[in-house]
Amino acid sequence: MAEYPQNNVLVAIMNNKKDFLIAQQEGWYRIPVKSAPKNIREQTPIKYLAFYQTKVFATEKYTIKWYAKIKNIARVFRKDLFEDEPHNSKSNKEYYKIEFEELLQLKTPIVSKKERRILFIPTTEQKFFAAKEINYLFNESPIEDKFWEALVDHNIEAER
């Protein structure tokens, strides 16, 4: 039996314009250590990072439009990420700093039919580059994929 494909893409929430500017201009994104998804905590090889944009992005809200190839993931303190920020109670908070190559734009954005808030969706490269809708990204198990395909084949509306 063939092995189920490993998740090597991480879709992460992008919920403010300041962080998106950092991603565009400086090529990194941060995830608090306490809320990091399993594949980051366990250092599973991840090839791409993509961003699910929330309502603050107006015309691009509830879509995945931007992604980048990951170069490095390191555990750092907030004070090292934001050296110009005055020291405060958050200064020693730990983050995973994900550094990546230039942001690339998907030819066709991946949309969410329902306006929902997600934090992280680990998925495969194959699913990521083929998906047109967010429900097609989930990569939990072969049986869940078969069940999802059956729902779609029978025009049964569902959310994963």
pLDDT by residue (tens digit) across 21-74? 999 999 999 999 999 998 888 888 899 999 999 999 999 999 999 999 999 999
Place of tokens 């025009």: 155
What's the length of the chain? 160
Return the SS3 of 107. strand
Q: How far apart are CA 122 and CA 8, in angstroms?
A: 7
In the predicted model, what is the mean pLDDT of residues 135-145?
A: 81
Could you give the CA distance from residue 132 to residue 39 in angstroms, rounded to a whole number? 24
Of 25, 12, 6, 43, nearest to 117 by C-alpha is 12
Instruction: State pTM to two decimals.
Output: 0.88
Question: Would you kindly state where each structural domain of the chain is located, as residue ranges?
Answer: 9-153
pLDDT beyond 50 at 128: yes
Check: CB of residue 16 under 8 Å from CB of residue 29: no
Q: What is the mean pLDDT of residues 122-126?
A: 93
Alpha-carbon radius of gyration of the chain: 17
Tokens coding 48 = 């791409």
Q: Which pLDDT score is estimated for 107?
A: 94
Is the pLDDT assigned to residue 14 strictly greater than 80?
A: yes
The band of 113, judged by pLDDT with boundaries at 50, 70 and 90, is confident
Residue whose structure tokens are 């990569």: 139
Q: Answer yes or no: is pLDDT of 160 > 90.
A: no
For residue 1, name the pLDDT band (cuts at 50, 70, 90): very low
Q: What is the pLDDT of residues 71-84, one digit of tens each?
A: 999 999 999 999 99
- Rounded to an integer, what distance in angstroms lies between the CA atom of residue 123 and that of residue 8? 6
Question: Which CATH number applies to 9-153?
Answer: 2.30.130.30
